[in-house]
Amino acid sequence: MTARSLRDHGIVLAVAVLVVALSLATDTFLSAGNLVNLLDQAVVVGLLACGMTVCVICGVFDLSASAVLAVSAIVAVLVTERAGVPAGYAAAVVTGGLLGTLNGVVVVLSRVHSFIATLALGIVHRGLALVITGGAIVYPGAGLLESFQSLSWPTVLGGVTASSLLLVVVAVVTSLLLARTTFGRRVYAVGGNPTAAWLAGIGVRSVRVGAFAISGLCAGLAGLVLAARGGSAQPDMGTLLELTAIAATVIGGTSILGGQGAIWRGMVGVLILTLIGNGFNLLGWNSTYRPVVEGLLILAAVSVDHALRARRS
């Protein structure tokens, strides 16, 4: 069995084991209501994981994603209050894209490691969210609240929410972007060996900025979903969700060292984390042990990745 086959089969087997175990242990896991809820729970982290997967494959990290999420959500609410729901939705996406692009420009120009640079930028963005709101919770207004929350409405597809369908669309688009475009091939090349990519004529800096822009767009959409779900936005929303997104990306089999991975892997990682959380709830287990399980999964995923790379070398 090849290293790639081992990694692919391993994560698929993990999902299958979790599904079978929860199906046998509970009577409600396979109910339509729980499955719809399971998909809805995965949306926010799933959107962040789409952008994070692009960044990790490109060899960079975006630790400002949850702060971008918060600013985008706040902008969506404030613009909705003044210009209507469509403008508010568009403003959230544009804000996420602009902040993501800004992150990329700062990282490539400062030459500071993306881990540190985006950590600092995340603090700046959180501060910006506090300045905009004055530390208060913002609402779109009673007359616009119902239409603003349309992303959380169930659709005709068995109660699946509009935000769940949004995740599917974003996952498909980003997957095609990586697999079928010149930009996607350059992302893999830069993440695998930036020096060789530069010698081959690839604009390493522009590719990295593009990866951060995609992460920002995904974070903006995630912020919009959270704001629509709660009907409000606040500066501390989504705190540390970028770490969960990174965890899902790594658990799914995307190499933490860059150059290898896929969007579907990140989605499998999100599914595994969501199944674990759902299992804790359905079985009535103490949720304080959940981070322990997730941490061990991350450690195992990184260890497997290291072992497979050593084996290939």
Average per-residue pLDDT in the chain? Answer: 91
As given in the structure block, the two tokens for residue 197 are: 């990519």
267-310 pLDDT tens trace? 999 999 999 999 988 888 888 888 888 888 888 877 877 776 66
Domain with 123, as residue range(s), is: 3-312
As given in the structure block, the two tokens for residue 132 are: 């905009």
Question: Which of residues 287 and 238 earns the better pLDDT score?
Answer: 238
- Output the domain CATH number for residue 307: 1.10.3470
Domain tally, the chain: 1
Q: What is the pLDDT of residue 309?
A: 64
Other C-beta atoms within 10 Å of 198: how many?
Answer: 14
Contact 115, 183 (CB under 8 A): no
Q: For the residues 25-46, what does the mean pLDDT come to? A: 92
147-158 pLDDT tens trace? 999 988 888 777
Q: What is the pLDDT of residue 297?
A: 82
Query: Can you name the residues that pair with 274 across neighbouring β-strands?
Result: none
Contact 89, 224 (CB under 8 A): yes
pTM, rounded to two decimals: 0.94
Q: How far apart are CA 4 and CA 10, in angstroms?
A: 10
Q: What is the pLDDT of residue 2?
A: 54
Dihedral (Cα; 63, 69, 70, 72), 10-degree rounding: 130
Is residue 262 over pLDDT 60? yes
Contact 62, 103 (CB under 8 A): yes
Rounded percentage of the chain residues whose pLDDT exceeds 90: 72
Contact 286, 50 (CB under 8 A): no
Is residue 8 over pLDDT 80? no
Least Cα distance to 252 among 171, 310, 194 occurs for 171
Q: What is the pLDDT of residue 6?
A: 57
As given in the structure block, the two tokens for residue 73 are: 């959500």
DSSP string computed for the chain: --HHHHHHHHHHHHHHHHHHHHHHH-SSTTSHHHHHHHHHHTHHHHHHHHHHHHHHHTT---TTHHHHHHHHHHHHHHHHHHH-HHHHHHHHHHHHHHHHHHHHHHHHHH---HHHHHHHHHHHHHHHHHHHHTT--B---HHHHHHHGGGGSB-TTTT-BHHHHHHHHHHHHHHHHHHHSHHHHHHHHHHH-HHHHHHTT--HHHHHHHHHHHHHHHHHHHHHHHHHHHT-B-TTTTTTHHHHHHHHHHHTT--TTSS---HHHHHHHHHHHHHHHHHHHHHT--GGGHHHHHHHHHHHHHHHHHHHHHHH-
